[in-house]
Amino acid sequence: MQAPDPHTVARGLRDRELVPLTISRVTRSHWGSSFLHRSLPVPPSHLAGFFTQLASLLRSGVNPHEALDEMAGMVTDGRLARAATEMSREAAEGAGLADEMERYPALFPEHVVGLLRAGEELGGLPEMLEALAGEYEARARIKHRVRWPGLYYGGVLVLALLVAPFPLMVARGMGWYVDVLLTRLLPILVGVILCYLGFRALLMIPAVGKLASRVMLPLPIVGTLPRHCATVRFLSVLNLSQRAGVTLDRGIELAAEATGHEAMRTAARHAAARVRRGESVGQAVARVGFLPQHVREMLATAEIAGAMEERLEAAGNWATEQRDAAIDSISSGSAAVSLAITAIIVAVALAFAWRHLYEAIFERAGV
């Protein structure tokens, strides 16, 4: 039963001549918000396929209940299949798709819920699902490009650590090498891995994640792709709101929820409030720092020219191109940085091995 508070639920049940035994507020699914699911998120490629298929079903005229029921048998990811099954049951009772996905924050982040809620209100749910599919396809692409160089260079680093004391093994025997391996090298590797996993786990805590988002977004490298993705979502919702005939301030509010970042959400809400007070779009978005200067200029000229829809579509296309360019830059840049770091560590390992080469020769010769 959907109601604003437990008292309304109890009153509604009594009107049906039912006696409530326990009333609990359903907000989030326990397993869908667990720390395990946050630390092991659904792969972007799986989410891209999920949103693409769901958008196709809705565009073909299938209602959300039947579409989710169909998706439960189509997706290969067990977590998405279970979520689709549970959401299908609630959708049959009239629940909204955004509200249902909000119950699974570990599977569907805030920007997914915000984008779908805007799609439901503006009558463009399939379009918003397709926008999500495009974003997750972009994330899957960058993940695929970065994965294999990371595995290769990681293997090179492990070999460098293992080969560095090899000359001394020749002189001191395998027992000495195994002892060094177990007492020195392996603890270093395990420590590095644990630090990495601990850092990822720390970011999974909502409060820490929001703080990290606020800190990293302004940075030139790590914050570039999140900013571009948020900009694309913002402009997609704003464009849809204009086509739906919604007031500009309400469109900006809906677009703010789709950014997925608290700092961006706050800045966009302030812009909506300024528009509501009578300021022009150019004045309102002038202080929205996450929007590129080019986009802010396009919005300002669009209001003057009376061509907001056309300029919003052009701005959205430009932001999408910038996002794809950022993916290419990050892919090539990460490969270059990984190569440079690997070269440094390998050089240090070789220098260490060379330093002990003559020492091993002398020990072997008994000198």
**What's residue 29's pLDDT?**
59
Q: Which two tokens stand for residue 72?
A: 């439960």
Instruction: Write the CB contacts of 141 (distance below 8 Å, at least 6 apart in sequence).
Output: 327
pLDDT at 340: 76
- What's residue 57's pLDDT? 94
Among 42, 44, 35, 43, which Cα is nearest to 204's?
35
In the prediction, which pLDDT does 145 show?
Answer: 75
Predicted confidence at residue 189, as pLDDT, reads 79
Specify the pLDDT at position 91.
Answer: 85
Amino acid, res. 277:
R
In the chain, the domains with their CATH numbers are: 6-108 (1.20.81), 138-367 (1.20.81.30)
Farthest CA pair distance, the chain: 99
**End-to-end alpha-carbon separation of the chain, Å?**
87
Contact (Cβ atoms closer than 8 angstroms) between residue 308 and residue 122: no
Q: Which residues contact 212 (CB under 8 A, 6 or more apart)?
A: 203
User: How many of the other CB atoms lie within 10 Å of CB of 111?
Assistant: 22
Q: Can you state the angle between helices 224-243 and 125-163, rounded to 10 degrees?
A: 170
pTM above 0.85, yes or no: no
CA distances from 108 to 41, 136, 311 (A): 9, 12, 30
**pLDDT at residue 33, as a whole number:** 66
Q: Which amino acid is it at 355? A: R
pLDDT score of 30: 60
Per-residue pLDDT of the chain (367 residues; tens, 9 = 90+): 766 667 788 888 888 888 888 877 665 556 666 666 777 788 999 999 999 999 999 999 999 989 999 998 888 888 999 999 989 988 887 888 998 898 888 889 889 999 999 999 999 999 999 999 999 998 888 888 777 766 776 777 777 767 667 666 766 777 777 887 788 878 887 888 888 878 877 777 777 777 877 788 788 777 888 888 899 999 999 999 999 988 989 999 999 999 988 888 899 999 999 999 988 888 888 888 888 888 888 888 887 777 888 888 898 899 999 888 888 877 777 667 767 777 777 777 777 767 666 666 666 666 5
Distances (CA, A) of 164 to 33, 169, 174, 347, 348: 45, 10, 14, 10, 9
Residue 5: per-residue pLDDT: 67
Q: What backbone phi and psi angles, to 5 degrees, belong to 343?
A: -60, -40
Res 346: pLDDT: 72
The confidence score (pLDDT) of residue 363 equals: 62
Which residues are within 8 A (CB) of 244 and not within 5 positions of it... i.e. 6 or more apart? 122, 123, 124
